[in-house]
Amino acid sequence: MANYFDIKLSNEEIGRISNLGLAHVGDAVFELMVRVWLCEHGKCTSGGLHRAAISYVSAPRQAKMAEKLLPHLTEEERAVFKRGRNTKVSSVPKNADPGEYHAATGLETLLGYLYLHGRQERINELFGIMMED
């Protein structure tokens, strides 16, 4: 059985996953990291934790984090981000404008791509940049 906490897919395997599939994985990776970060920083009451997590995983907040990350991305990472950002989506949540939603999708696509490649160290590095301040 595969260890999905320590996975490393090949380029060919990842190439068979759609951009939205990568974003789906990246969304889960990001939310888990945010939840752990919030607990680590003392925001552990159930109601407060949920509200705080939602504020970080919203499209507008993710779009701001993506903008902050862009100068730190490699050429490969930037290409994956752009591929995700430019993916056609069927709907945009009412709390986000289309530009924010596309940027958030790009960020999630990048995180999913890195996670499935087994690049947890790089994800942690980028997460640290996103959570500064």
Active-site residue set:
27
14 three-state secondary structure: helix
Both tokens assigned to 116: 């499935």
**Interatomic CA distance for residues 27 and 41, integer angstroms:** 21
Nearest alpha-carbon partner for 101 in 56, 63, 52:
63
For residue 49, the tally of other CB atoms under 10 A from its CB is 15
Nearest alpha-carbon partner for 8 in 106, 86, 123, 92:
123
